[in-house]
Structure 1
Amino acid sequence: MTGHDDWLTGGDRRAAAVDRIERVALALFLEHGIDSVTAEDIAAAAGCSRATLYRHVGGRSQLVRAVVLRAAGGVVARIDKAVDKVPAQRRPVEAILAAVAALRADPVLHQWLTRHRSPGTDGLLASAPELGHLATTLTRIAPDDAAAGWIVRVVLSLLTWPLPDAAAERALVERFVGPALRPR
């Protein structure tokens, strides 16, 4: 023994590795920003090799998406509950506004999505199929990758460039987003 515990002994090694790597990645992303953290940084902080990181979580972009989805789990449930009974024609608008409110209320995601933004990170998030699927599910629009990516971009835009108040944001989303996503 080298003087420190092997955190991958016993139990489900894969689950333990994924959990630890994702938790460490989230902490590093929050502290330094997504673009500033390398796979080497994450592996070192998690106490594993880069090979272990890639074997269990894939490449950096897969890890970013996994960490966002992990952090968003509770937020998604709150959004879904907020719009559960909303009629189909109003659902896209209400889901987008509920997403913005829920993300602002979540200290981890709000900090992450507003403080550590870059064009590369925004592009990665907007094109992540997992986030697009969440957008499609929450708004209940027909599966459409372009529309799903656009919904993610609308939410990110409102987080980054908020309007003066909730009423102004609602008016903007109702006027420009609602008609584009209304069931035909």
Structure 2
Amino acid sequence: MATDDWLVGRNRRDEAAERIYAAAATLLARHGYDAFSIDALAAAVHCSPATVYRHTGGKSAIRDVVLARQAERILDSVRAAIDGLTGPQRIVTATTVALERLRTDPLAKIMRAMAMRPGEEWLTGSPIVSRFAGEMVGLGTADPLAAQWLIRTFLALWYWPLKDAAAEEEMVRRFLGASYAGGPAEAGVSVRRPS
């Protein structure tokens, strides 16, 4: 006899969490984080709110997992684009590919709106984001300050894109790429240092 019980199987906990996260991603992309609720999520997966909490935690925990999974998909495409690249070309390519992917991703729009709220440091303070920033520029060892600078520069470009894509790519190449080529002076950018 067929059953509609979606929690049947050997890995019930994993299957339940996967189903909940998939439904949460759909709801978040469709309605945004502010309209997202545990009750709506429970209704979407045909379970009780207690089941949602038991398998995945609360609203912010679900948000973090859904966005981390989506970010990992985006990061995989960035990793493929920078494979074998080093120095300035690596950071320029990583930045331009990541910006293009984030600007077209529905869940990224939600992440962007949440990260813009005053006092919301969950994105800039995320160890996952810092680790990725270091990976993108090819830092062999952890450099939290460099990662924070890159994250904040990237977020500025994401929030306030230039209307001219070619000009934005040139800006990334000249200034962001230059910072990973031994400094702006080495990349041909004139920098006036204080006396």
Q: TM-score range by the shorter chain?
A: 0.7 to 0.9
Offset of residue 40 of structure 1? 3.1
Counterpart code for 2:30: E
SS at match of 2:123: helix
Structure of higher RCO (CA pairs closer than 8 Å, 6+ residues apart):
1
Native 8 Å contact 1:126 1:153 kept in 2: yes
Tell me how far apart the structure 2 counterparts of residues 70 and 94 of structure 1 sit (CA, whole Å): 22
**Which structure 2 residues correspond to residues 70-109 of structure 1 after superposition, within 5 A?**
70-104=69-103, 106-109=104-107
Larger Rg: 2
Q: Which residue of 1 aligns with 2:137?
A: 139
1:133-160 CA distance string (max 9 Å, x none) = 2232233234234543443443343233
Give 2:17's aligned residue: 18
Match of 2:32 in 1: 33
Letter in 2 for 1:127: G
Q: Which structure 2 residue ranges, 5 or more long, are not aligned? A: 184-195
Q: Distance in 2 between matches of 1:99 and 1:121?
A: 24
Q: Give percent identity, aligned residues only.
A: 34
Please give the TM-score of this superposition, normalised by the length of structure 1.
0.76
Distance in 2 separating the partners of 1:113 and 1:77? 18
Report how far residue 79 of structure 1 moved. Answer: 0.7
Aligned residues between the structures: 180
Q: Deviations over 1:101-146 (max 9, x none)?
A: 2323x44345545677751796333333223322322332342345
Is residue 167 from structure 1 mapped to residue 174 from structure 2 by the alignment?
no
CA-atom RMSD, angstroms? Answer: 3.1
Higher helix share: 1
Structure 2 CA distance, aligned partners of 1:124 and 1:35? 16
